Amino acid sequence: MTFVAVTQSGTLSLNEKTNEFERAGRKLYRFGFGESPFPPPARIQLALSKASHRTEYTEVAGLPALREHIAAFHHEADRYPISSRQVLVAPGTKPLLYNVMHAFQQADVFLPDPSWVSYGPQAAIAGHKLTRIPTSFEGRWRVTPEALDQALARAGKTGRQKLIVLNYPGNPDGLTYSRAELEALTHVLRAQNAWVISDEIYALLDHCGTHVSLASIYPERTMVTTGLSKWCGAGGWRLGALILPPDVPRALYDALVGLGSETYSCASAPIQIAALSAYELDVDVQIFLGAQRRILASIGALVHRKLRETGLRVHPPQGAFYLLLDFSPFAEPLARRGITTDEHLCNRLLEESGVALLPGKAFGMRAEALTARMAYVDFDGEGALKQADFEFHVERYAAKILEGIAALGAWLN
Ligand code: PMP
């Protein structure tokens, strides 16, 4: 008997491992798992609690009213036209990404190194040929038009569809693309007629609020994923959305609805009702977004400064709540301690200092490159949201994170 070779997603298994560590009563610095520290606004929680009687299955594509709200919301937030016919709702973006991968038959899939943990396994399960696009610390882990062009050329003329996945602000790097960078990439994408999954799940947590959607530059073949997991602090509610191009081929649309109908059926009805209230870009939501951005920007800047003081290489974050740490300046002393891969590094670091990071390998990095992702979410998000002058209290809120960085620094040096 044979079974599909799929192991548990790296981030989720790390969460279980650190939970065990904590159950054993050991001091833990939770930098491994990237869950929003902020609760959804009270109004949205109330909308959910009032919707418990909604027990029906909805349309596979999602409630028509919700699709309209999402279209209007992102039209306003991202300033490009979207009709509700372009929107599909599902229980999280993960199944949407999975189904997009399956809607393409035998495509050439291109993933930047580094990129989020699940794209590669999903592409492999769908039977696609995977090509990685190298990036560098010096190039801020960004895909350049040259590297994209070379990767596309390397894949050769196969006649298959080309599907590129971009994610910004990015997990695991916390960095984003400027409009000019996206325009330069679009040049290459357009010349190659390539499809793009633009995973913009952290768009609304761009620390400056200046996210530019690729769909506003390359509307003809960009499929945007977004949802409530990050900006609304509701990952476990499971609500994601896919925004398709305005002229999406009928066959692609039908395949996505068909795949949805054969897998998840629909997002849960009460969650969709609560999402109606979340996808209202009104003053409440604007205040909620603005506060999260200020808090994440302040903590991100502080954490970056402290990490630099340890001697690690790391870029100042621009969005979301991640940093990709480059331990390569410590390669020699680490090798003397018998550490030559990122996995080994993360295991020893956890065992010896209680600091939980996720190895860069999970994101497609070479294990010997000695990179690891840090999520800076181990703080009281609910309290921080209530703190009007947060900037003056950042050290207090970030105390546990700073303690963890000190433990990391001590372990390193
Ligand atoms: N994309 C990225 C980059 C993510 O970080 C995550 C969540 N960790 C997802 C997609 C999946 O999100 P969802 O909860 O919508 O399935």
The tens digit of pLDDT for each residue in 250-288 reads 999 999 999 999 999 999 999 999 999 999 999 999 999
pLDDT at 199 over 70: yes
For residue 300, give the nearest of 207, 381, 386 by alpha carbon: 207
- The answer to whether residues 116 and 364 touch, using CB atoms and an 8 Å cutoff, is no
The mean per-residue pLDDT over the stretch 230-253 comes to 98
Q: Is the pLDDT of residue 358 over 90?
A: yes
Is residue 5 pLDDT above 90, yes or no? no
- 63-110: per-residue pLDDT in tens? 999 999 999 999 999 999 999 999 999 999 999 999 999 999 989 999
> What average pLDDT score do residues 358-362 get?
96
Q: Is 196 helix (H, G, I), strand (E, B) or coil?
A: strand
Mean pLDDT (the chain, rounded): 95
Ranges of CATH 3.90.1150.10 domains, the chain: 10-39+284-412
Determine the residue of 230, 358, 363 to mutate for testing ligand 1's pocket, defined as the one with the most ligand atoms within 8 A of the Cβ atom: 230
Q: For the residues 402-410, what does the mean pLDDT come to?
A: 98
CB of 32 within 8 A of CB of 18?
Answer: yes
- 321 C-alpha to center of ligand 1: Å? 13
The answer to whether the CB of 122 is under 6 A from ligand 1 is no
Cβ–ligand 1 contact at 235 (below 6 Å): yes
Q: Check residue 100 and give its pLDDT.
A: 98
Q: Is 274 in the pocket of ligand 1 (CB under 6 A)?
A: no
Of 225, 195, 182, residue with least CA distance to 86: 225
Q: What is the pLDDT of residue 13?
A: 66
Q: How far away, in angstroms, is 289 Cα from ligand 1 center?
A: 18
In the sheet that holds 322-326, the strands lie side by side as 322-326, 371-375, 358-359
For the domain 56-279, what is the CATH code? 3.40.640.10
Q: At residue 10, does pLDDT exceed 70?
A: no
Average pLDDT of the segment spanning 372-394: 96
Atom in ligand 1 nearest the alpha carbon of residue 93:
15
| pTM for the model | 0.96
Number of Cβ within 10 Å of residue 71's Cβ equals 20
pLDDT at 8 over 80: no
Rounded distance from Cα 86 to ligand 1 centre (Å): 20
Domain 10-39+284-412: which CATH number of 3.30.450.40, 3.20.20.70, 3.90.1150.10, 3.40.190.10: 3.90.1150.10
Residue 410 has pLDDT above 70, yes or no: yes
Distance 201 CA to ligand 1 centre (A): 7
Query: Terminus-to-terminus CA distance in the chain, angstroms?
Result: 50
Asked whether the beta carbons of 56 and 400 are under 8 A apart, the reply is: no
- Separation of 2 CA from ligand 1 center, angstroms? 30
4-12, Cβ contacts within 8 angstroms, sequence gap of 24 or more? 4/125, 6/121, 6/125, 9/117, 9/118, 9/121, 10/117, 10/358, 10/359, 10/362, 11/117, 11/358, 11/362
Checking if the pLDDT of 11 tops 80, the result is: no
For ligand 1, the distance from its centroid to the CA atom of residue 93, given in whole angstroms, is 6
Residues 157-171, mean pLDDT to the nearest whole number? 95
How many Cβ atoms from other residues are within 10 Å of residue 196's Cβ? 22
Confidence of residue 1 (pLDDT cuts 50, 70, 90): low
Q: Exposed (0-12), middle (13-18) or buried (19+): which is 380, by Cβ within 10 Å?
A: middle
Mean pLDDT of 178-202: 98
318 lines ligand 1 (CB under 6 A): no
Cβ of 94 closer than 6 Å to ligand 1, yes or no, is yes
- For the CA of 229, the nearest atom of ligand 1: 14
Torsion of CA 134, 138, 141, 146, to 10 degrees: -50
Atom number of ligand 1 nearest to Cα 171: 3
Cβ–ligand 1 distance for 229 under 6 Å, the answer yes
Q: Are 324 and 373 in contact (CB under 8 A)?
A: yes
Mutate to test the pocket of ligand 1, among 33, 165, 167, 201 (most ligand atoms within 8 A of CB): 201
pLDDT at residue 147 greater than cutoff 70:
yes
As a whole number of angstroms, the longest Cα–Cα distance in the chain is: 62
Which residues are paired to 164 by β-bridges?
110, 196
Report CA(389)–ligand 1 centroid distance (Å): 30
Over pLDDT 90: what percentage of the chain? 91
CA–CA separation, 320 vs 39, rounded Å? 15
Is the Cβ–Cβ distance between 322 and 116 less than 8 Å?
A: no
CATH 3.40.640.10 positions along the chain are 56-279
